[in-house]
Chains A and B, each alone.
Chain A
């Protein structure tokens, strides 16, 4: 019975994601803002695969995001890569970087692992900074094209309008969302959860936990790389801040505030923070203080994040209805 409930719930989550994607541009002032939300939701989703499902707190997500953005942009600028090739190379770059960072970092567990990912993130920043011939250094990489979408030699859309680009990102997001769900519900995904819950036990049962963690890293890095490339295409610009530690922190905070261990939470987290930033950053440049406060608040009072908060409110409502119903019944009996 439990199982049935679970699977129908997850079916609902995919539907909810689809509805969100369709409704979002209608509610928001611009399609560009909606696209930005989807891109960060993608990055948060990838972070969630690591943090929520494997229990790996990675401060390295900005490496894959920025790496994907830079490599895709460089390929488009210097070698005229098309849209899908650029995204493919961004995915491979993200996956490769994640493989490298992951392979070194998972040599250590727990807190050391976290510190290593943070240090590698700093390292990537300095690499990007010193390769300024390629990355533009402090100025960022300018004039990044947004190539048209070609399928089988036909131009499907030129993606010039922000609505068309939103639609493209939306389709891509849904594909990744469904893929991530498949990963989570596969035996591979359940093993990841087993590692999160008790790594020693998972390893004692015979799973080679490091291989699983590394693969989770690679998948997460690939998705984050795509998100980074899309962000560069959205802005036509790849700033150095893409690969700063702050980017890793933002992605992490979106994931946590949205709710770890639920893919829809990543949409909520990315949505609320990108929106908050959009509304506040022009009025109050120091709005990030709120992020700090929100982060502490979520950790202390709402560890399952916004999505969990929605769930617990719904539970309470159900509980309230049930109690009321049973109270009514018992008063009838009396």
Chain B
């Protein structure tokens, strides 16, 4: 029983990390109407920055605070210099541009940090396990669940309760009208892109002590984020949350039953959802 509880908690933690990645993808898609194929690559930068900051200063909290901001700043620059030029093109071209960016980031990552994966140690304060009766659970993983939940709530507040959030949501419905009403739409685009990508960077930092960092994980992360948004429905905050948790739980529970097949099963789950509900669980068609 406690084994299952353990795996369920693992799944929730994993699911929250997947949520952070996918919700960024979804926000960007909602407003800018394109899918960022470099999303996994920015996640990669986040986790490698975490590695570098931790190995230089030994301070994980610094990495948690700074790395996502650096990733967001890089995303901002990328949007300003490259992606902006493609908005008027059909969406095939957006994909190809971000694919090019992903390729460049991945290869640069390998040139800087080398092709072999690295590990990041868990911060001192969160070493060891949390005990409740006979149940033990690693403190760091518990922290990830709580921290990601706080971020998710803050993000929800940002999107639902602030002027910025209202603009993003309005822009997702009708970009032109928002622009006509006097909003500097391109600025909004850049900030939203930076926010969405920054969330992927944050996910990269949080995952680094659990899974280590590896240059080819960007592709895997992108694939998983796609599964999440296909299951949850694109452009939906709830969809990203539920989709992320489903994928995390499926993957984590499968590791107890059939370890090699755990990655496989999430794609199976996706195919299943596509057959039953082609527009995803929360998709609007």
Task: Spell out A's residues near B (CB within 8 Å).
Answer: 51, 55, 57, 104, 107-108, 110-112, 114-116, 118-123, 126-127, 129-130, 245-246, 249, 252-253, 256, 286, 288-289, 291-296, 299-300, 303
Give the Cβ gap from B176 to chain A, nearest Cβ, in Å.
Answer: 20
Whether A293 contacts B264 by the Cβ 8 Å rule is no
Specify which of A110, A114, A288, A299 lies most central, judged by the most chain B CB atoms within 10 Å of its CB. A299
Q: Decide yes or no: A130 and B103 within 8 Å by CB, A119-B267, A245-B223, A299-B93 being known contacts.
A: no
Q: Decide yes or no: A130 and B264 within 8 Å by CB, A291-B103, A292-B104 being known contacts.
A: yes
Task: Spell out B's residues near A (CB within 8 Å).
Answer: 29, 34-35, 82, 85-86, 89, 91-93, 95-97, 99-104, 106-108, 110-111, 219-220, 222-223, 226-227, 229-230, 234, 260-261, 263-264, 267-268, 270-271, 274-275, 278-279
Whether A303 contacts B267 by the Cβ 8 Å rule is no
Cα A112 to Cα B268 in complex, Å, equals: 16
* Nearest-CB residue, chain B, relative to A111: B35
**Residue contacts A-B, CB under 8 angstroms, 24 given:** A57-B92, A104-B271, A108-B278, A111-B91, A114-B95, A115-B230, A118-B223, A118-B226, A119-B223, A119-B227, A122-B267, A126-B263, A126-B264, A129-B260, A130-B261, A249-B99, A286-B111, A289-B104, A289-B111, A291-B100, A295-B97, A299-B89, A300-B86, A300-B97
Contacts of B97 in A (CB 8 A): 295-296, 299-300
Whether B274 contacts A300 by the Cβ 8 Å rule is no
* Nearest-CB residue, chain A, relative to B104: A292
Contacts of B270 in A (CB 8 A): 116, 119
Cα A300 to Cα B88 in complex, Å, equals: 11
Whether B226 contacts A115 by the Cβ 8 Å rule is yes
* Nearest-CB residue, chain A, relative to B109: A286
Whether B99 contacts A295 by the Cβ 8 Å rule is yes
Whether A122 contacts B220 by the Cβ 8 Å rule is yes
Known: A111-B95, A120-B267. 5 other contacts (CB 8 A): A111-B29, A116-B270, A130-B264, A252-B99, A303-B89
Contacts of B219 in A (CB 8 A): 122, 245-246
Whether B103 contacts A292 by the Cβ 8 Å rule is yes
Contacts of A252 in B (CB 8 A): 99
Whether B103 contacts A288 by the Cβ 8 Å rule is yes
Q: Decide yes or no: A286 and B110 within 8 Å by CB, A108-B274, A130-B260, A300-B86 being known contacts.
A: yes
Contacts of A288 in B (CB 8 A): 103, 106-107
Whether A119 contacts B86 by the Cβ 8 Å rule is no
Cα A288 to Cα B219 in complex, Å, equals: 15
Give the Cβ gap from A302 to chain B, nearest Cβ, in Å.
Answer: 12
Cα A181 to Cα B118 in complex, Å, equals: 50
Interface of A is mostly: helix
Cα A114 to Cα B278 in complex, Å, equals: 14
Contacts of A245 in B (CB 8 A): 219, 223
Cα A165 to Cα B261 in complex, Å, equals: 39
Whether A295 contacts B100 by the Cβ 8 Å rule is yes
Cα A111 to Cα B111 in complex, Å, equals: 31
Give the Cβ gap from A89 to chain B, nearest Cβ, in Å.
Answer: 24
Contacts of B263 in A (CB 8 A): 122, 126
Whether B230 contacts A116 by the Cβ 8 Å rule is yes
Whether B104 contacts A119 by the Cβ 8 Å rule is no
Give the Cβ gap from A98 to chain B, nearest Cβ, in Å.
Answer: 15
Contact of A112 among B93, B106, B107, B234 (CB under 8 A): B234
Contacts of B93 in A (CB 8 A): 299, 303
Contacts of B104 in A (CB 8 A): 289, 292-293
Give the Cβ gap from B172 to chain A, nearest Cβ, in Å.
Answer: 14
Whether A300 contacts B226 by the Cβ 8 Å rule is no
Contact of B96 among A55, A129, A286, A295 (CB under 8 A): A295
Cα A289 to Cα B108 in complex, Å, equals: 7
Whether B103 contacts A112 by the Cβ 8 Å rule is no
Contacts of B101 in A (CB 8 A): 292, 296
Contacts of B29 in A (CB 8 A): 111
Contacts of B278 in A (CB 8 A): 107-108
Contacts of B34 in A (CB 8 A): 111
Whether A299 contacts B96 by the Cβ 8 Å rule is yes
Cα A266 to Cα B230 in complex, Å, equals: 31
Specify which of A249, A292, A294 lies most central, judged by the most chain B CB atoms within 10 Å of its CB. A292
Give the Cβ gap from A59 to chain B, nearest Cβ, in Å.
Answer: 9
Whether B274 contacts A104 by the Cβ 8 Å rule is yes
Cα A291 to Cα B101 in complex, Å, equals: 10
Contacts of B111 in A (CB 8 A): 286, 289
Cα A291 to Cα B100 in complex, Å, equals: 7
Whether A296 contacts B100 by the Cβ 8 Å rule is yes
Give the Cβ gap from A234 to chain B, nearest Cβ, in Å.
Answer: 25
Contacts of B96 in A (CB 8 A): 256, 295-296, 299
Contact of B35 among A114, A295, A303 (CB under 8 A): A114
Contacts of A108 in B (CB 8 A): 230, 274, 278-279
Cα A72 to Cα B223 in complex, Å, equals: 28
Q: Decide yes or no: A116 and B274 within 8 Å by CB, A123-B264, A300-B85, A303-B93 being known contacts.
A: yes
Give the Cβ gap from B245 to chain A, nearest Cβ, in Å.
Answer: 18
Contacts of A104 in B (CB 8 A): 271, 274-275
Contacts of A289 in B (CB 8 A): 103-104, 107-108, 111
Cα A246 to Cα B215 in complex, Å, equals: 13
